[in-house]
Structure 1
Amino acid sequence: MKNLSFVLLLLVIATPAAAQRVVPRNPKVADAARLLTSPAAQDLIAAQIASLADIILDTKVGPLAALSDPRDDVRPDDTLHSVQRRHDPDYDRHLYERSRHAVATGGAAVGGAMAEAAELRQTADRLRAALTPLIDAARTLSSQQNSQR
């Protein structure tokens, strides 16, 4: 029982310190959150993602047409882009919109994580303040027990 109490005490003492390590204060994270929630930045990043996707989508897949199932609708001169556009005529717009939404979601997630980090820091501070008298009492008790030996 003594060991269990000691382990629980150590765990409670370590919790605020662990919370501080898990949720570090980092101004770069705040900058990233601000950037990712900016509509202008979202537009720019989405445009860049679409541009990078275009490079990949311009890959010719037609040579594989002979190896694919004829029902796959891959023609000898096709690129990934042409295949996608056949299935979705608004593919380029949808890619841009999904990219922009993903950037906005990332910004919201970073902002939410920062808000939660602040809350975890406050909780750790409250735990530390509440545990200080218990830790002091445990130290006093331990000192008394050691001096009686």
Structure 2
Amino acid sequence: MRLAITAALFCAAATPALAQQAQPQPTTRDKAEALAKALNNPMVQEAGAAMLSNLAGILLDTRVGPAAHYVDPTIGEQETLRDIQRRNDPEFEKRFHDQARRAVATAGKLTQDGIAMQDSLDQTAARLRAALAPLRGMLNAK
């Protein structure tokens, strides 16, 4: 009796794992379509731009004054890349963020276009295979 109860418990525990295995794995195309959809989402674009702005900010906080004064004597000892860039363009951080957001949106469009092009390339490959089939047959006959 214990064996039957233990077997039933193991079967019940394994049921979710079996259900997960029954689901087909996403194809590369499915993943590309999900990526394109995500990159075309304004919230994802904003998050991507924020991430890129944050990474750029880390670099911009690099103190370059000790070496940069050789190139430009007006640069102070404690100045960072951000300080120098702000002096040249006070709006550069806003402009960078906007450009980063457009770059993420462009990546979404390029992904969509790549998916659309894949269909055309698949069709071309099928036509080429069909056109080359007689030649392949002649080569294999020898």
Q: In the alignment, which residue of structure 2 is the partner of 1:97?
A: 98
Under a length normalisation based on structure 2, what TM-score does the superposition of the two structures give?
0.69
Q: Deviations over 1:112-135 (max 9, x none)?
A: 111111111012223333444555
The separation in 2 between residues aligned to 1:25 and 1:91, in whole angstroms, is 38
Q: Alpha-carbon deviation of 1:61? A: 1.2
Of 21, 25, 30, 1:27 maps to 30
Please, which runs of 5 or more residues in structure 2 have no aligned partner? 1-26
Runs of 4+ aligned residues of structure 1 deviating over 2 Å after TM superposition are 24-27, 65-70, 126-136
* More relative contact order, 1 or 2 (CA 8 Å, 6+ apart): 1
Superimposed CA distance per residue, residues 78-113 of structure 1 (whole angstroms, 9 cap, x where no aligned partner)? 111111111111011011011111111111112111
* 112-121 or 126-135: bigger deviation: 126-135
Structure 1 unaligned blocks of 5 or more: 1-23
C-alpha distance in structure 2 between counterparts of 1:120 and 1:130, whole Å: 15
Distance in 2 of aligned mates of 1:55 and 1:46: 14
Distance 1:65 1:129, change over 3 A: closer
The letter for the 2-side match of 1:63 is P
User: Residues 77 and 99 from structure 1, CA distance in 2 versus in 1: closer, same or farther, beyond 3 angstroms?
Assistant: same
RMSD: 2.3
Partner Cα separation in structure 1 for residue 60 and residue 106 of structure 2: 24
Are the counterparts in 1 of residues 38 and 108 from structure 2 also a CA contact under 8 Å?
A: yes
1:53 aligns with 2:95: no
Number of paired residues?
116
**2:111 matched to which residue of 1?**
110
Identity percentage over the alignment? 39
Q: 2:54 aligned with 1:42, yes or no?
A: no
